Amino acid sequence: MGEYRRGQNPNSLANLQPWKPGDKPNLGGGKGLVIAPAMRKYASWSYVELATLAADKEKADNLPTADVIAIVALLKAAREVAWGDAARQFVTERLDGPLPKPDVLVQGNLVLIREYHGVDGSVDLG
């Protein structure tokens, strides 16, 4: 073991940045949701409205990148044949959250679904 206890090494303490009162530390490492709110903003638009906005170079070039990604994903999910399934899954998970997954127990010939984990938590089925 070293000569300092956890959190006491002066070299480590020198790397810490003080924050001002009222600031919140970034514990998660990211800024939070970026693409999902943009998708929600455009999800109620018709395909024609989205395609028209995407084709308008002057307007599209001035949109935030999150908006551009959201519009492209929505257009691809709506009409793309080759990669549309992946785009639809991407859009659905961003807008509705991940699809519910069953908790399955398999023992021999017996299959038991114990819980069903949904977007809003888990529901006990047994």
**pLDDT tens for each residue of the chain, 126 residues long:** 568 888 888 888 887 777 777 776 666 556 668 888 999 999 999 999 999 999 999 999 999 999 999 999 999 999 887 776 888 888 888 888 877 776 777 777 776 666 555 545 544 444
pLDDT at 29: 58
Asked, for residue 84, whether it belongs to a domain, the answer is yes
Residue type for position 40: R
Residue 50 placed within a domain: yes
Query: Total domain count for the chain?
Result: 1
Identify whether 118 is part of a domain: no
- Give the helix ranges, DSSP H, for 1-126: 10-14, 35-42, 47-55, 57-61, 65-79, 84-96
Residues 40/95, Cβ–Cβ less than 8 Å:
yes
Query: Domain of 82?
Result: 32-96
Give, rounded to a whole angstrom, the gap between the first and last alpha carbons of the chain.
Answer: 49
**pTM value surpassing 0.85:** no
